[in-house]
Structure 1
Amino acid sequence: MPLNPTIEAVTQRIIERSKARRTTYLDRMRRAAEDGPRRAHLTCGNQAHAYAAMGDAKDALVAEKAPNLGIITAYNDMLSAHQPFKDYPDKIKAAVAKVGATAQVSGGVPAMCDGVTQGQVGMELSLFSRDVIALAAGVGLSHNTYDAAVYLGVCDKIVPGLIIAAGTFGYIPGVFIPAGPMTSGLPNDEKAKVRQQFATGEVGREELMKAEMASYHGPGTCTFYGTANSNQMLMEFMGLHMPGASFVNPGTPLREALTEEAAKTAVGLSALGNNYTPVCDVLDEKAFVNGMVGLMATGGSTNLVLHLPAMARAAGVDVALEDFADLSAAVPLMAKVYPNGLADVNHFHAAGGLAYMIGELLDAGLLHDDVKTVAGHGLSHYTLEPEILNGGFHYREGPKTSENEKILRPASNPFQPEGGLKQLEGNLGHGMMKVSAVAPERHVIEAPARVFDDQHAVKAAFQRGEFTTDTVVVVRFQGPAANGMPELHSLTPTLAVLQDRGLKVALVTDGRMSGASGKVPSAIHVAPEALHGGLLAKVQDGDIIRVDADKGTLDVLTEGVESRQAATPDLSNNAFGVGRELFEVFRANVGPSTAGAGVVV
Structure 2
Amino acid sequence: MRLHPDVEAVTARVVARSAAGRQRYLDLIAREQDRGLNRSALSCSNLAHGFAAAEGDKPVIRSGKAFNIGIVTAYNDMLSAHQPYGRYPEQMKLFAREAGATAQVAGGVPAMCDGVTQGQSSMELSLFSRDTIALSAAVALSHAMFEGVAMLGICDKIVPGLLIGGLRFGHLPTIFVPAGPMPSGLPNKEKQRIRQLYAEGKVGEEELLDAEAASYHSPGTCTFYGTANSNQMMMELMGLHMPGAAFVNPGTKLRQELTRAAVHRLPQIGWNGNDYRPLGRCIDEKAIVNAAVGLLATGGSTNHALHIPAIARAAGIDFDWEDLDQLSAAVPLIANVYPSGQGDVNHFHAAGGMAYVIGELLQAGLAHADILTVAGHGLGDYAKVPTLEDEALAWRDGPAQSGDSSMLRPVSAPFRPDGGMRLVQGNLGRGTFKTSAVDPSRWTIEAPARVFHDQHEVNAAFKAGELDCDVVVVVRFQGAKANGMPELHKLTPPLGVLQDKGFKVALVTDGRMSGASGKVPAAIHISPEALGGGPLARVRDGDMIRLCANRGTIDVLMDEAEFRAREPVAAPVEEDGTGRELFAMFRQNADAAEKGASPVLAAAGL
Question: What is the TM-score of this pair, normalised by structure 1?
Answer: 0.99
- 1:36–1:112 CA distance, 2 compared to 1 (3 A): closer
Question: What letter matches 2:504 in structure 1?
Answer: K
Distance in 2, Cα, partners of 1:346 & 1:579: 36
How far off is 1:377 after superposition? 3.2
1:439 aligned residue: 439
Distance in 2, Cα, partners of 1:139 & 1:60: 24
The answer to whether residue 51 in structure 2 is matched with residue 51 in structure 1 is yes
Distance in 1, Cα, partners of 2:121 & 2:438: 28
Question: What letter matches 2:564 in structure 1?
Answer: E
Distance in 2, Cα, partners of 1:99 & 1:439: 52
How big is each residue's C-alpha offset from its partner over 1:141-161, in whole Å with a ceiling of 9 and x where there is no partner? Answer: 000010000000000000000
1:570 aligned residue: 572
Distance in 2, Cα, partners of 1:144 & 1:267: 16
Distance in 2, Cα, partners of 1:310 & 1:27: 20
- Secondary structure at the residue paired with 1:373? coil
1:533 aligned residue: 533
1:6 aligned residue: 6
Question: What letter matches 1:571 in structure 2?
Answer: V
1:104 aligned residue: 104
Distance in 2, Cα, partners of 1:230 & 1:117: 19
- What pairs with 1:293-304 in structure 2 (closer than 5 Å)? 293-304=293-304
Question: What letter matches 2:178 in structure 1?
Answer: P
2:519 aligned residue: 519
How big is each residue's C-alpha offset from its partner over 1:537-593, in whole Å with a ceiling of 9 and x where there is no partner? Answer: 0111110001101111111103322211111122232xx100011000001111111
- Secondary structure at the residue paired with 2:600? coil
1:598 aligned residue: 598
Question: What letter matches 2:397 in structure 1?
Answer: E
- Secondary structure at the residue paired with 1:360? helix
- Secondary structure at the residue paired with 2:171? coil
Question: What letter matches 1:99 in structure 2?
Answer: A
2:604 aligned residue: none
1:233 aligned residue: 233
1:589 aligned residue: 589
Distance in 2, Cα, partners of 1:465 & 1:36: 63
Moved more, 133-142 or 391-400: 391-400
- 1:478–1:36 CA distance, 2 compared to 1 (3 A): closer
How far off is 1:36 after superposition? 8.3
Distance in 1, Cα, partners of 2:466 & 2:60: 71
How far off is 1:267 after superposition? 2.1
Distance in 1, Cα, partners of 2:48 & 2:341: 56
Contact in 2 for aligned 1:37/1:147 (Cα 8 Å): no
Distance in 2, Cα, partners of 1:452 & 1:147: 51
How big is each residue's C-alpha offset from its partner over 1:123-168, in whole Å with a ceiling of 9 and x where there is no partner? Answer: 0000000000000010000000100000000000000000001111
How far off is 1:35 after superposition? 4.0
1:450 aligned residue: 450
How big is each residue's C-alpha offset from its partner over 1:42-83, in whole Å with a ceiling of 9 and x where there is no partner? Answer: 011111000011122122112211100000000001100000
1:158 aligned residue: 158
Distance in 2, Cα, partners of 1:565 & 1:341: 43
Distance in 1, Cα, partners of 2:327 & 2:391: 42
How big is each residue's C-alpha offset from its partner over 1:440-465, in whole Å with a ceiling of 9 and x where there is no partner? Answer: 11111000000001111100001111
Moved more, 274-283 or 355-364: 274-283
Distance in 2, Cα, partners of 1:146 & 1:589: 32
1:83 aligned residue: 83
Distance in 1, Cα, partners of 2:166 & 2:355: 25
Distance in 1, Cα, partners of 2:253 & 2:569: 58
Distance in 2, Cα, partners of 1:276 & 1:184: 39
- 1:37–1:270 CA distance, 2 compared to 1 (3 A): farther
Moved more, 220-229 or 26-35: 26-35
How far off is 1:30 after superposition? 1.1
The answer to whether residue 209 in structure 2 is matched with residue 212 in structure 1 is no
Question: What letter matches 1:434 in structure 2?
Answer: K
Contact in 2 for aligned 1:65/1:272 (Cα 8 Å): no
Q: Which runs of 5+ in 2 are unaligned?
A: 602-606
Distance in 1, Cα, partners of 2:278 & 2:50: 23
How big is each residue's C-alpha offset from its partner over 1:494-549, in whole Å with a ceiling of 9 and x where there is no partner? Answer: 10000011111000000111322110111000001011221110111110001101
Question: What letter matches 2:573 in structure 1?
Answer: L
Contact in 2 for aligned 1:298/1:420 (Cα 8 Å): no
How far off is 1:273 after superposition? 4.1
Question: What letter matches 2:234 in structure 1?
Answer: L
Contact in 2 for aligned 1:138/1:165 (Cα 8 Å): yes
Distance in 2, Cα, partners of 1:64 & 1:185: 48
How big is each residue's C-alpha offset from its partner over 1:311-332, in whole Å with a ceiling of 9 and x where there is no partner? Answer: 1111111111110010000000
How big is each residue's C-alpha offset from its partner over 1:255-310, in whole Å with a ceiling of 9 and x where there is no partner? Answer: 11111111111122112344221101100000000000000000100000101111
Question: What letter matches 2:343 in structure 1?
Answer: A
- Secondary structure at the residue paired with 2:554? strand
Contact in 2 for aligned 1:543/1:557 (Cα 8 Å): yes
Question: What letter matches 1:380 in structure 2?
Answer: G
Contact in 1 for aligned 2:22/2:315 (Cα 8 Å): yes
Distance in 1, Cα, partners of 2:397 & 2:36: 37
Contact in 2 for aligned 1:10/1:326 (Cα 8 Å): yes
- What pairs with 1:122-521 in structure 2 (closer than 5 Å)? 122-521=122-521
How far off is 1:37 after superposition? 8.3
Distance in 1, Cα, partners of 2:128 & 2:231: 17
Contact in 2 for aligned 1:421/1:432 (Cα 8 Å): yes
How far off is 1:40 after superposition? 0.6
Contact in 2 for aligned 1:482/1:571 (Cα 8 Å): no
Q: Which runs of 5+ in 1 are unaligned?
A: none
Question: What is the TM-score of this pair, normalised by structure 2?
Answer: 0.98
Distance in 2, Cα, partners of 1:117 & 1:99: 41
Distance in 2, Cα, partners of 1:226 & 1:73: 21
Query: Moved runs in structure 1, 4+ residues, more than 3 A?
Result: none
Distance in 2, Cα, partners of 1:13 & 1:7: 10
Distance in 2, Cα, partners of 1:505 & 1:173: 48
2:27 aligned residue: 27
- Secondary structure at the residue paired with 2:531? helix
Distance in 2, Cα, partners of 1:451 & 1:27: 49
Distance in 2, Cα, partners of 1:185 & 1:218: 9
How big is each residue's C-alpha offset from its partner over 1:363-400, in whole Å with a ceiling of 9 and x where there is no partner? Answer: 10101111100001311010111111111111111111
Distance in 2, Cα, partners of 1:563 & 1:298: 43
Aligned pair count reads 599
Distance in 1, Cα, partners of 2:30 & 2:528: 38
Question: What letter matches 2:563 in structure 1?
Answer: V
Distance in 1, Cα, partners of 2:582 & 2:366: 44
Distance in 2, Cα, partners of 1:274 & 1:62: 24
Distance in 2, Cα, partners of 1:532 & 1:9: 35
Question: What letter matches 1:563 in structure 2?
Answer: A
Contact in 1 for aligned 2:453/2:572 (Cα 8 Å): no
Contact in 2 for aligned 1:67/1:273 (Cα 8 Å): no
How far off is 1:38 after superposition? 1.4
Distance in 2, Cα, partners of 1:239 & 1:479: 32
Moved more, 559-568 or 129-138: 559-568
Question: What letter matches 1:98 in structure 2?
Answer: E
